[in-house]
Amino acid sequence: MSSKLKLIGLSSAVSVIAMSAAAEEPVSLTIVSWGGAYTASQQRAYHEPYMELNPHVTIINDDGSANALAGLRAQSQAGNVTWDLVDMLPSDAQLACDEGIIMPLDVDAMLAPAPDGTPPSEDFLPGSLGECYVSSIVYSTVLTYRPDAFPEDNQPSSIADLFDLENFPGRRALQDRPGTNLEWALYADGVDPDDIYDVLSTPEGVDRAFAKLDTIKDQVIFWTEGAQAPQLLADGEVVFTTGYNGRMFDAIEVEGMNADIIWDGQVVEWDGWVVPADGPNVDAVMDYLYFATDTQRLADQAKFISYGPARASSAGLVGEHADLGIDMAPHMPTAEENYFSPIILDNDFWVDYGDELRERFANWMLQ
């Protein structure tokens, strides 16, 4: 071999080594989620397996999703985006997308197909994808209560009971946002689930919902973070609380909290990922997102928390809880025995009316 060829060969080898070293440079990803049992399920189903396969990547959890839209706006305005990936509600994600502070996602180009080759756009369940958004779970907000707070022959069973202070006295905990609370107020006031958003889109309907909430206002404690709801119930500070069904499952089945879920009127929602525009590690984030949204990973999350996977191909892979060994299917919000009167959260409604209703609800809380 000529010395010239030797030099070319050596140069090529050095280039490959350099490229390999660059690819393995340490990366730290800040992933924003909801904390508590939910983030723990992501940690075990997504983060830890991904870091094991990619030892140069470190994932840092930030429990900031309750204020994700405000956080993204502030970082974008400051020109200092520090979040890499954010778990977000679809209505907030649509607002962020419209404002250009999160990235559009071409799911068929960016995400894994189903094992049989079905493209992601056909495998993800209807309604679970947006222009800038990809769901990972379907979950619901449910009403949960302490059975020992009431006589054995007078146990609550409906959303209407949340508003019945005479038969079910005691303090209640509600999330500090209008979503779910306004829907439940109308449902408890006799509005059919299919008609709730038609009623709520009128000034009279909004007034009616707030009037119903007024009937329990002096008995309400507000929570912000998902982990607070079961804690308020476990500590005996309230007899009812609204909360995410997976958090309640974890508190009851894993932690042994004495509580029962009321599936009547469950408010069914999607939850999933957005990628901040101008984030510091977009390439690494996209690699993680490909992994964390594939068929197996979404099924794996259901081993740790009772949220349904957003992909059709994942459903048949949902089995037993990883630690408890119990069948997870009956604990899913979409189980037949639980899905008898669902309220499907209308994200388009909350995109259109959310800002004014959030402002009114915030003022109502302070009154």
- Per-residue pLDDT tens digits for 292-349: 999 999 999 999 999 999 999 998 898 999 999 999 989 999 888 999 999 999 989 9
Provide the terminal-to-terminal Cα distance of the chain, rounded to the nearest Å: 86
Sign of the alpha-carbon dihedral angle for 238, 67, 206, 334: negative
Question: Given this model, what pLDDT does residue 181 score?
Answer: 98
Phi, psi of 25 (to 5 degrees): -65, 145
- Residue 80 burial by Cβ neighbours in a 10 Å radius (0-12, 13-18, 19+): exposed
- Look up residue 34 and give its amino acid: W
At residue 307, the pLDDT reads: 94
Tokens 């038969």 -> residue: 167
Average pLDDT, integer, range 206-214: 98
Does residue 229 carry a pLDDT above 90? Answer: yes
Question: Can you give the pLDDT at residue 8?
Answer: 40
Q: Which of 333, 338, 362 has its CA nearest to residue 141? A: 333
| Residues carrying CATH 3.40.190.10, the chain | 26-137+271-317, 139-270+335-366
pLDDT at 315: 87
C-beta neighbour count of 294 within 10 angstroms: 22
SS3 316: helix
Mean pLDDT value of segment 62-67: 94
Q: What is the CA radius of gyration of the chain?
A: 23
Return the CATH fold of 26-137+271-317. D-Maltodextrin-Binding Protein; domain 2 (3.40.190)
Percent of the chain with pLDDT over 90: 87
Predicted local confidence at residue 20, as pLDDT:
43
Does the structure show a pLDDT above 60 at 74? Answer: yes
Residue scoring higher pLDDT (249 or 18): 249
What element of type H or E holds 188?
helix 181-188
138 within 8 A of 333, measured Cβ to Cβ: yes
Nearest to 344 by CA among 158, 224, 194, 192: 194
pTM for this structure?
0.80
The Cα 348–Cα 333 span in angstroms is: 22
CATH hierarchy code of domain 139-270+335-366:
3.40.190.10
pLDDT at 24: 77
Residue 16 pLDDT more than 70?
Answer: no
pLDDT at 43 over 70: yes
pLDDT recorded at residue 6: 42
pLDDT at residue 15, as a whole number: 42
Q: What is the pLDDT of residue 23?
A: 54
Q: What mean pLDDT value characterizes the chain? A: 92
Token output for 3: 């010395």
- 262 close to 143: Cβ distance less than 8 angstroms: yes
For 262-284, give one letter per residue: b (16+ CB within 10 A) or e.
Answer: bbbbbbbbbbbbbbbbebbbeeb
Report the alpha-carbon distance of residue 125 to residue 107 in Å, rounded. 13
pLDDT at 17 over 50: no
Convert the pLDDT of each residue in 107-149 to its tens digit.
999 999 999 999 999 999 988 999 999 999 999 999 999 999 9
The whole-number pLDDT of residue 12 equals 43
Return phi, psi of residue 342, to 5°.
-75, 150
Whole-number Å distance between alpha carbons of 297 and 196? 35
Identify which of 86, 51, 46 has the alpha carbon closest to the alpha carbon of residue 70. Answer: 86
Nearest in space to 61 (alpha carbons), one of 90, 93, 28, 96: 28
CA distances from 238 to 113, 159, 174, 302 (A): 45, 16, 10, 29
Average pLDDT over residues 16-33: 72
Residue 5 pLDDT exceeds 60: no
- 254 secondary structure, DSSP code: I
The helix/strand/coil state of 124 is strand
